[in-house]
């Protein structure tokens, strides 16, 4: 299965080396420790070492980090012959994206006297941006070369930072868990890319575009880690104190309710009542996505449960009925079904956030209003904040779709070594694997 067009011997090393050298140079010129990581700066002020934000953000960061590398990486190993690429390319593009995101996010909203200041909060934000790229990766999974993925990551990170800047810094949108900035953006960007990269003859690789028993078990590792740590994800960069605490709590109950509705819908929509691993692996997570915007708000535990409950239902229905339509009618080949896990639940989360913001009152938030809605605390109207939230969704969708369109065409350039239609979803193009040409059948039979 070696093919001159997919041979990465020069393309991949050159891409990696150029990107990393550019990163190193830009870091050398632009990036500095912030005042909590710099030895001299930290010791200038009079505070205890225990007040360093490291102790209040780093455990959340590590949970997010696990979601990015284990969660996303293993979630995508469900394909029978694409485990190396799923976890391996996830690893590669995430390692690149988090560096590039540090620069792009710093450039747009982290500059101090011409320098980008970094610390644990920027690390969390870089991982968040990376998450968005990995969502898009899910849409094109199995059909792209690692060079294409790196190029996609480069552009997507940049556009992510632009969108994030517009929302958070210009409009004053609240979106701590990223229902819009991360999930909606990543999903619709990826869906547009995969639309542009449409392969009419993908059914030639159809026999590999499915799971086997063990690949589903590996994927469950990803699912469970994402599910468990989602409360940390949504709360990682909210304001300290009650805000982080409440966000984690809301997400916890949203996910729990989502899991029950997912199992119910999975069984209900199967003709023989049997559960489908695709739903369990994905839809059970929709409650985390949908609590991404409103999680830090006074959503109440039962509000969170309703959101999760609906997210699970929508997501399973999407997998069952909408995805086949998207593929047939709109020519969107969405390998992981990111539209059902990140797209629709992201939009749901944005709407829930807009509504929850629009009904915020000082009676409910008290002096905590300034942490959750600084604009309302400063005298703005809650309905205005709600309007901002709704506009933000539209902006996000616009940038994601337009960006995906452009990037999709760039990725179509024949120089990036994308696999032919006959060998998609196949590790052996890019990896040394034990099996030999033609041995596919025996592998599948034996799993």
When binding is defined by CB under 8 A, the residue of 19, 162, 358, 402 that contacts a second copy is: 19
Instruction: Give the footprint of a second copy on residues 360-389 (CB under 8 A).
Output: 363-369, 371-372
10 makes contact with a second copy (CB under 8 A): yes
When binding is defined by CB under 8 A, the residue of 114, 200, 213, 415 that contacts a second copy is: 213
Residues whose CB is less than 8 angstroms from the CB of residue 341 and which lie 6 or more positions away in sequence, other chains included: 138, 187, 282, 283, 285, 286, 289, 315
**Tokens 């420790």, residue?**
33
The minimum distance between CB 1 and a second copy, in angstroms, equals 9
154 makes contact with a second copy (CB under 8 A): no
**Tokens 């003709």, residue?**
271
Report the C-alpha gap between 71 and 68 in whole angstroms.
6
When binding is defined by CB under 8 A, the residue of 5, 38, 168, 380 that contacts a second copy is: 38
321 makes contact with a second copy (CB under 8 A): no
Task: Specify the residue, 368 or 420, whose C-beta has the smaller distance to a second copy.
Answer: 368
352 makes contact with a second copy (CB under 8 A): no
Task: Specify the residue, 235 or 333, whose C-beta has the smaller distance to a second copy.
Answer: 235
Burial 400-425 (b: 16+ CB within 10 A, else e): beebbeebbeebeeeebbbbeeebbb
> Token pair for residue 363?
């009676």
359 makes contact with a second copy (CB under 8 A): no
Report the C-alpha gap between 394 and 400 in whole angstroms.
10
63 makes contact with a second copy (CB under 8 A): yes
Report the C-alpha gap between 299 and 277 in whole angstroms.
30
What SS3 string covers 351-405?
Answer: HHHHHHHHCCCHHHHHHHHHHHCHHHHCCCCHHHHHHHHHHHHHHHHHHHHHHHH
Give just the sign of the alpha carbon dihedral 73, 75, 77, 79.
Answer: negative
16 makes contact with a second copy (CB under 8 A): yes
240 makes contact with a second copy (CB under 8 A): yes
Task: Specify the residue, 79 or 187, whose C-beta has the smaller distance to a second copy.
Answer: 79
Residues whose CB is less than 8 angstroms from the CB of residue 445 and which lie 6 or more positions away in sequence, other chains included: none
Task: Specify the residue, 97 or 197, whose C-beta has the smaller distance to a second copy.
Answer: 97
The minimum distance between CB 284 and a second copy, in angstroms, equals 7
Report the C-alpha gap between 206 and 422 in whole angstroms.
9
> Token pair for residue 141?
């999974």
When binding is defined by CB under 8 A, the residue of 5, 263, 374, 387 that contacts a second copy is: 263
When binding is defined by CB under 8 A, the residue of 264, 317, 402, 410 that contacts a second copy is: 264
Instruction: Give the footprint of a second copy on residues 157-196 (CB under 8 A).
Output: none
The minimum distance between CB 191 and a second copy, in angstroms, equals 25
211 makes contact with a second copy (CB under 8 A): yes
51 makes contact with a second copy (CB under 8 A): yes
Task: Specify the residue, 216 or 334, whose C-beta has the smaller distance to a second copy.
Answer: 216
Task: Specify the residue, 77 or 158, whose C-beta has the smaller distance to a second copy.
Answer: 77
Instruction: Give the footprint of a second copy on residues 90-109 (CB under 8 A).
Output: 91-92, 95-96, 98-99
DSSP line for 329-355? HS----TT-HIIIIIHHHHHHHHHHHH
Instruction: Give the footprint of a second copy on residues 403-442 (CB under 8 A).
Output: 429-435, 442
When binding is defined by CB under 8 A, the residue of 120, 153, 237, 326 that contacts a second copy is: 120
**Tokens 């909210």, residue?**
238
* Contact call for residues 210 and 80 (beta carbons, < 8 A): yes
Q: Pick the closest to residue 315 from 355, 357, 344 (CA basis).
A: 344
317 makes contact with a second copy (CB under 8 A): no
């Amino acid at each position: 299965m070696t093919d001159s067009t997919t041979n990465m011997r020069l393309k991949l090393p050159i891409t990696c080396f150029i990107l990393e050298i550019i990163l190193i140079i830009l870091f050398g010129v632009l990036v500095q420790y912030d005042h909590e990581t710099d030895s001299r700066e930290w010791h200038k002020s009079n505070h205890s070492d225990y007040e360093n934000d490291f102790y209040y953000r780093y455990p959340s960061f590590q949970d997010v980090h696990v979601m990015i590398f284990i969660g996303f990486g293993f979630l995508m190993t469900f394909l029978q012959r694409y485990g190396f690429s799923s976890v391996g390319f996830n690893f590669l593009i995430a390692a690149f994206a988090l560096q590039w995101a540090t620069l792009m996010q710093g450039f747009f909203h982290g500059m101090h006297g011409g320098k980008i200041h970094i610390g644990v909060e920027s690390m969390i934000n870089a991982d968040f941006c990376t998450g968005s790229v990995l969502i898009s990766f899910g849409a094109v999974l199995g059909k792209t070369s690692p060079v294409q993925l790196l190029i996609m990551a480069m552009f997507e990170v940049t556009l992510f930072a632009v969108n994030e800047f517009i929302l958070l810094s210009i409009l004053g949108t609240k979106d701590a868990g990223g229902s819009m900035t991360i999930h909606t953006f990543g999903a619709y960007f990826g869906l547009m890319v995969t639309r542009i990269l449409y392969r009419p003859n993908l059914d030639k690789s159809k026999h590999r575009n499915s799971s086997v028993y063990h690949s589903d078990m590996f994927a469950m590792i990803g699912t469970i880690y994402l599910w468990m740590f989602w409360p940390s994800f949504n709360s990682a960069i909210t304001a300290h104190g009650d805000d982080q605490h409440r966000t984690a709590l809301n997400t916890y109950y949203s996910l729990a309710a989502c899991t029950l509705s997912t199992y119910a819908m999975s069984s209900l929509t199967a003709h023989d009542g049997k559960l489908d691993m695709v739903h369990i692996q994905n839809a059970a997570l929709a409650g985390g996505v949908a609590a991404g915007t409103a999680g830090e708000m006074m959503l109440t535990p039962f509000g969170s449960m309703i959101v999760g409950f609906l997210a699970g239902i929508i997501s399973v229905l999407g997998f069952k009925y909408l995805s086949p339509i998207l593929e047939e009618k709109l020519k969107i080949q969405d390998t992981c079904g990111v539209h059902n896990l990140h797209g629709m639940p992201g939009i749901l989360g944005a709407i829930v956030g807009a509504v929850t913001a629009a009904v915020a009152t000082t009676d409910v938030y008290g002096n905590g209003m300034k942490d959750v809605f600084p604009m309302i605390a400063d005298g703005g109207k809650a309905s205005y904040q709600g309007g901002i939230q709704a506009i933000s969704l539209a902006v996000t969708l616009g940038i994601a779709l337009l960006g995906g369109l452009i990037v999709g065409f760039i990725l179509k350039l024949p120089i990036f070594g994308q696999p032919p239609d006959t060998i998609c979803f196949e590790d052996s193009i890019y990896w040394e694997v034990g099996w030999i040409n033609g041995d596919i059948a025996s592998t599948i039979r034996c799993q």
